[in-house]
Amino acid sequence: MPATGDAAPDFTAPLANGDIEEFTLSDRLEDEAPIVLAFFPGAFTSVCTSEMCAFQDRLAGFNDLDASVYGVSRDSPFTLNEFRAQNDLEFGLISDYNKEITDDYGIEMDFDDLGVYGVAKRSVFVIDGDGEITYSWVSDDPGVEPDYDEVEAAVEELA
């Protein structure tokens, strides 16, 4: 699992932003950093919806800091576009449908009792323009949301 000070694993994946387009992290760093990657286990679940809506509620603050926010989950890009629409999310959601990003970031978890395997742990990474992780938070408890003030403070340090 990459930690603060490590290079963020690069990836290319579908981006659900109303349409579906290709997203490559390294291609976005120059114009969009700092980048906040907020991984969540699954669209349309209560805690994940609460988390993504909390990022939406704070989006103006991140925009004021010239930061970009992206949610990331194992859901398909089609599901993520519907999730965005139903929750009025203005930021893009990255589909890790093939589980490559979750593997590279070492944040996979299973819900054995539900028969659900390989979803992303709820986690947040802030990545600077050089591709370095400047903040990381990973929870083993999917019911715990990140400290949004802490995430915003980490971004503010890069402004």
Domain assignment of residue 79, yes or no = yes
Domain assignment of residue 99, yes or no = yes
Residues annotated as part of the active site: 48
Domain assignment of residue 152, yes or no = yes
CATH of the domain at 132: 3.40.30.10
Domain assignment of residue 23, yes or no = no
Domain assignment of residue 91, yes or no = yes
Nearest to 113 by CA among 137, 142, 139: 142
The answer to whether 51 and 58 have CB atoms below 8 angstroms apart is no
H/E element holding 73? strand 68-73
pLDDT, tens only, 38-90: 999 999 999 999 999 999 999 999 999 999 999 999 999 999 999 999 999 99
100 is in which domain, residue-wise?
Answer: 12-18+32-156
Q: How far is CA 80 from CA 2, 15, 52, 70, 102, in A?
A: 25, 9, 11, 12, 16
DSSP 8-state class, residue 7: B
CA–CA gap between residue 46 and residue 129 (Å, rounded): 33
- Is the pLDDT score of 155 beyond 90? yes
Give me 95's structure tokens. 């589909």
pLDDT, tens only, 76-132: 999 999 999 999 999 999 999 999 999 999 998 777 677 767 788 999 999 999 999
Cα radius of gyration rounded to whole Å, the chain: 14
Domain assignment of residue 5, yes or no = no
The pLDDT score that the predictor gives to residue 113 is: 73
Structural domain count of the chain = 1
